[in-house]
């Protein structure tokens, strides 16, 4: 879908090239993450793909077309672009911001309105609340969501994302990463994603392109880069704890165990004891009437008489199936429990991850036993 052939960019003749003889093929539907230290040429590479910067030499093809044969404005309308500072227009509403490209493409008003609402839904913002707001009335994370929605507005086949979540705190960044991966599963765009954070690269990429001083030093799947780093430079970039980083590659939904049996908050504890005995389990989930997770019970908790609501323990943390096993580990460590509950988007229990689950996941990568 995107092909760079012998692409070089020299800004100043007195300095070395910012990008040097770069060859990169990005397949349709791939998320190619460009990663490497500051100044290695990631942004330059990305901006050459939508002609914000023109290469000094070499050729770039998008969807089979040499981009030098395409009108740059037309080219950019078909390539979504998301940057860290988002670049929302402050005087325009969220709806107007998202509608920028569809308006340029002269879509009918009804179609634009419907598309704006669809996109706000997709990125998790209620259209009725956010459509008419101005960017300044949104949090950083919400603005970043709008930035993503705007880039996707006219449904371009290609998205370029330059450190899109770089300005967010770690918790919001993790959330947005997971949401974005969920969205990508649906929309299957070809994405070039820039980051300097190797953990983000491992998590987001189907392929990772590691750059150093304008050159490509390794281009492979996250698995292969972790298992077979091509040089000491790559080893240092990956850093310590390669085993733990492998947990970034695995989604909770792929490995989670069946959720424990559930018991309603209003039920008497004798019901909980019966369930534990009948199923031979040592954990029960307590749920609200509508099925949402409220807490958990151990056999000790269930021994007391009373209502489930009185004896259950609160659940401080839960995760969704699209989180990574590394997220699961962080939650376990943060809250000092050997398990974390998995809930769906509506908060209903769908599974359980334990330390055992994590051991099994990383154990699969070494065959000593
Ligand atoms: N407009 C510019 N003029 C001159 N040099 C630039 C310009 N933009 C980037 N550079 C230089 O090119 C190199 C690569 O920059 P950049 O692509 O922004 O790296 P990255 O995104 O990986 O941090 C750096 O040495 C940077 O200083
Ligand atoms: Mg950059």
For residues 323 and 251, the answer to whether their CB atoms sit within 8 Å is: yes
Q: What pLDDT band is residue 365 in, cutting at 50, 70 and 90?
A: very low
Closest ligand 1 atom to residue 19 Cα is 14
- Kindly give the number of the ligand 1 atom that is closest to the alpha carbon of 9: 12
CA 293 to chain centre: 25
What structural domains does the chain harbor? Answer: 2-249 (3.40.50.300), 253-363 (3.10.580.10)
Euclidean distance between CA atoms 287 and 296, whole angstroms:
9
**H-helix segments, 165-219:** 170-187, 198-204
pLDDT value of position 369: 35
The neighbourhood of ligand 2, an ion, using CB within 5 A, equals 43
Token pair recorded at residue 63: 């969807």
Distance between start and end Cα atoms, the chain:
42
Of 296, 292, 335, nearest to 313 by C-alpha is: 296
Handedness of CA 98, 99, 102, 103 (dihedral sign): negative
- The reported pLDDT for the residue numbered 102 is 94
Q: Strand 293-297 and strand 284-287: pairing?
A: antiparallel
| Ligand 1 pocket: which of 10, 20, 44 to mutate (most atoms within 8 A of CB) | 44
19 has a pLDDT exceeding 60: yes
Judge whether 317 and 334 are in contact, CB under 8 Å.
Answer: yes
C-alpha dihedral (338, 173, 348, 355), degrees to nearest 10: -20
pLDDT tens-place string over residues 116-129: 999 999 888 999 99
Average pLDDT on 155-184 reads 87
Nearest CA to ligand 1 atom 4: 11
Q: Does residue 195 have its Cβ closer than 6 Å to ligand 1?
A: no
Output the pLDDT for position 114: 95
- What 3-state DSSP class applies to 36? coil
Task: Look at residue 32 in the predicted model and tell me its pLDDT.
Answer: 98
The average pLDDT across 353-361 equals 90
User: If you average pLDDT over residues 344-361, what whole number do you get?
Assistant: 91
Q: What's the rounded mean pLDDT across residues 53-57?
A: 96
- In DSSP notation, 299-367 reads HHHHHSSSBHHHHPEE---EE-TTSBHHHHHHHHHHHT-SEEEEE-TTS-EEEEEEHHHHHHHHHTT--
Helix (H, G, I), strand (E, B) or coil at 200: helix
For ligand 1, the distance from its centroid to the CA atom of residue 317, given in whole angstroms, is 42
- Asked whether 40 lines ligand 1 (CB < 6 A), one says yes
Q: Is residue 170 pLDDT above 60, yes or no?
A: yes
CB of residue 39 inside a 6 A radius of ligand 1: yes
To which H or E segment does residue 234 belong? helix 232-238
- In whole numbers, what is the pLDDT of the chain averaged over residues? 91
Q: Is 11 in the pocket of ligand 1 (CB under 6 A)?
A: yes
44 lines ligand 1 (CB under 6 A): yes
Q: Rounded mean pLDDT of 85-91?
A: 83
Closest atom of ligand 1 to 38 CA is: 23
- For residue 44, which atom of ligand 1 is closest to its CA? 17
What does the pLDDT average to over 4-20? 95
Q: Give yes or no for a contact between 355 and 335, defined as CB atoms under 8 angstroms apart.
A: no
Distance 83 CA to ligand 2 centre (A): 10
Distance from the alpha carbon of residue 142 to the mean position of ligand 1, in angstroms: 29
For 172, phi and psi rounded to 5 degrees?
Answer: -65, -35
Under the banding of pLDDT at 50, 70 and 90, the label for residue 366 is: very low
pLDDT at residue 186 greater than cutoff 80: yes
What phi-psi label fits residue 86: left (phi over 0), alpha (psi between -120 and 50 degrees) or beta? Answer: left
Strand partners, 9: 19
How far apart CA 11 and CA 29 sit, in angstroms, is: 31
**Mean pLDDT value of segment 35-47:** 95
- Give the per-residue pLDDT at 96: 95
Q: pLDDT tens-digit profile of 60-79?
A: 999 999 999 999 999 998 99
Q: How many CB atoms lie within 10 A of CB 309?
A: 15
Predicted local confidence at residue 367, as pLDDT: 40
Q: Whose CA is closest to atom 9 on ligand 1? A: 44
- Residue with the nearest Cα to atom 16 of ligand 1? 41
What was the pLDDT predicted at 91?
94
CA of 212 to the centre of ligand 2 (A): 13
* pLDDT band per the 50, 70, 90 thresholds, residue 368: very low
Q: Are 313 and 296 in contact (CB under 8 A)?
A: yes
Rounded to an integer, what distance in angstroms lies between the CA atom of residue 95 and that of residue 115? 10
The answer to whether 352 touches 260, Cβ cutoff 8 Å, is yes
How far, in Å, CA of 215 to CA of 221, rounded?
18
Distance 208 CA to ligand 1 centre (A): 20
And the tokens for 25? 């093929």
Contact by Cβ (8 Å): 201, 41: no
The alpha carbon of 39 and the centre of ligand 1 are apart by a number of angstroms equal to 6
| pLDDT tier, 169 (very low <50, low <70, confident <90, very high otherwise) | confident
From the CA of 37, which ligand is nearest? 1
- Quick check: CB of 34 below 6 Å from ligand 1? no
268 lines ligand 1 (CB under 6 A): no
Q: What is the mean pLDDT of residues 307-312?
A: 93
Residue 85: what pLDDT?
A: 67
Q: What pLDDT score does 364 carry? A: 55
């Amino acid at each position: 879908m995107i092909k760079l052939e012998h692409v070089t960019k020299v800004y100043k003749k007195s300095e070395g090239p910012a990008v040097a003889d770069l060859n990169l093929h990005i397949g349709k539907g791939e998320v190619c993450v460009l990663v490497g230290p500051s100044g290695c040429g990631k942004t330059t590479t990305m901006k050459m793909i939508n002609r914000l910067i023109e290469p000094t030499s070499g050729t770039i093809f998008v969807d089979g077309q040499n981009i030098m044969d395409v009108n740059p404005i037309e080219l950019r309308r078909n390539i979504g672009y998301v940057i860290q500072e988002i670049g929302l227009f402050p005087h325009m509403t969220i709806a107007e911001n998202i509608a920028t490209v569809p308006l340029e493409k002269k879509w009918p008003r009804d179609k634009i309105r419907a598309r704006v609402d669809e996109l706000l839904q997709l990125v998790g913002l209620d259209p009725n609340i956010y459509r008419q707001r101005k960017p300044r009335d949104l949090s950083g994370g919400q603005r970043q969501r709008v930035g993503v929605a705007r880039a996707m507005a006219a449904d371009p086949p290609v998205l370029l994302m330059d450190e899109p979540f770089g300005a967010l705190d770690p918790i919001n960044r993790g959330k947005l990463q997971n949401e974005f991966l969920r969205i990508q599963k649906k929309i299957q765009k070809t994405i070039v994603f820039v980051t300097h954070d190797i953990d983000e690269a491992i998590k987001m990429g189907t392929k990772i392109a590691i750059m150093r001083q304008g050159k490509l030093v390794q281009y492979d799947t996250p698995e292969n880069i972790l298992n077979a780093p091509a040089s000491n430079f790559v080893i240092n970039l990956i850093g310590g704890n390669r085993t733990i980083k492998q947990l970034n590659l695995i989604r909770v939904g792929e490995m989670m165990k069946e959720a424990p049996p559930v018991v309603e908050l209003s039920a008497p504890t004798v019901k909980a004891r019966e369930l534990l005995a009948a199923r031979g389990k040592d954990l029960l989930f307590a749920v609200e009437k509508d099925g949402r997770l409220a807490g958990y019970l151990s056999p000790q908790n269930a021994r007391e008489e009373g209502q489930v609501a009185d004896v259950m323990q609160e659940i401080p943390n839960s995760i969704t199936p699209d989180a990574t096993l590394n997220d699961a580990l962080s939650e376990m460590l943060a809250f000092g429990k050997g398990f974390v509950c998995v809930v769906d988007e509506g908060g209903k229990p769908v599974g359980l991850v334990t330390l055992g689950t994590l051991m099994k996941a990383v154990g699969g990568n070494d065959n000593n036993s």
